[in-house]
Structure 1
Amino acid sequence: MESIYWILISVIFLVGFIGLVFPIIPSVLFIIGGMLLYGVLFSFEPFNWLFWSVQIIFVLLLFAADYVANMLGVKKYGGSKAAIWGSTIGILAGPFIIPVIGLLIGPFAGAILAELIVHKKDFNTSVKIGLGSVFGFISSVAAKAFIQLLMVGYFTIEVL
């Protein structure tokens, strides 16, 4: 039975990592959910105040990495808050409109449309800002993957 429990916990962690490329899946909730499932199925004993404090710091870093990477990607190319919002909406809507590739096209198109409509920027400038949003998204995914690996790694060290 113990093997089945570990498989369930691993699958929940895996879903958390899938959420990195499908933003509709709340990655961090699945990572924390896997830890809580371990506590329910095995024991909460390894999870002291230090463990939860470190995990909360990681969660805060996840949210910061997501916002900062997107903002820096857009701002580096002269984008506005509207482009950041357009990019964020594109990240969420893109995969539904165009599965898989929409994950990159969504933030690109969202940032471009926001700059064209809200700030009336020229098309070439808007495209550069759109590319910045894609670079920001990719950077965000990489940073969040690293942080989630740290979360799961720390969890593994504590429970084994």
Structure 2
Amino acid sequence: MELLLLIVAVVAIVAGIAGVILPLLPGTPLVFAGLWLLAWLDGYVRVGGVTVGVLGTLAALAWLVDYLASALGVKRVGASGLAVTGALVGAVLGILGGFIGVVVGPIIGATAGELIARRSHGQAARAGLAAGLGFVIAIVAKLGLTFAMLGIFALAWLV
């Protein structure tokens, strides 16, 4: 049974790393679950509760970055509140559209929100571009947080 749980933990971590890049998989939550399971299997001897708490905080931060990056990018280019709301709604509804929906949802939402608010095609295009760029920045930030989680876990395990 312990070997099976060890395999589940490793698969969760590997799938989570893939999920950081592939939007349909819950990347950092899977990485956290796998790391937590490894700590639990070891009886929290090498990786204690404080370290698991830090890992959980980093996973929650990565999840937050995922949803806020597009909206913050849109806000940064001076788009309207409707464009920011559109990017957030597009990110959430995009989940229903699979991989393409997750990528394109915030862009469409920000563009539509800006068109409704200002009817300016140029500003709407900037808002959509900012939402797309925010998505890319979110992936980079999530990768950084994920590797920080793995590094913290490895240090706690080895030290």
TM-fit CA distance, 1:64: 5.4
* Map of 1:100 onto structure 2: 99
Matches within 5 A, 1:67-86: 69-86=69-86
Deviation by residue 1:114-141 (Cα, 9 ceiling, x = unmatched):
1222x13312211110110110111011
1:56-71 mapped onto 2 (5 Å cutoff): 56-59=56-59, 61-63=61-63, 65-66=65-66, 69-71=69-71
Aligned residue pairs total 158
5+ unaligned residues in a row in structure 2: which ranges? none
Map 1:23-62 onto structure 2 (within 5 A).
23=23, 25-59=25-59, 61-62=61-62
SS of the residue corresponding to residue 101 of structure 1 reads helix
Normalized per residue, which structure has more helix? 2
Partners of 1:69 and 1:154 lie apart in 2 by 24
Q: Deviations over 1:42-62 (max 9, x none)?
A: 321123354135325524542
Identity %: 28
Paired residue type of 2:28: V
Indicate whether 1:129 and 2:133 are aligned. Answer: no
C-alpha distance in 1 between matches for 2:31 and 2:90? 24
Task: Give RMSD over aligned pairs.
Answer: 2.8
2:136 is aligned, of 124, 127, 138, to 138
Cα distance change of structure 1 residues 61 and 100 upon mapping to structure 2, 3 Å threshold:
closer
Q: What are the ranges of 5 or more consecutive residues in structure 1 without an aligned counterpart?
A: none
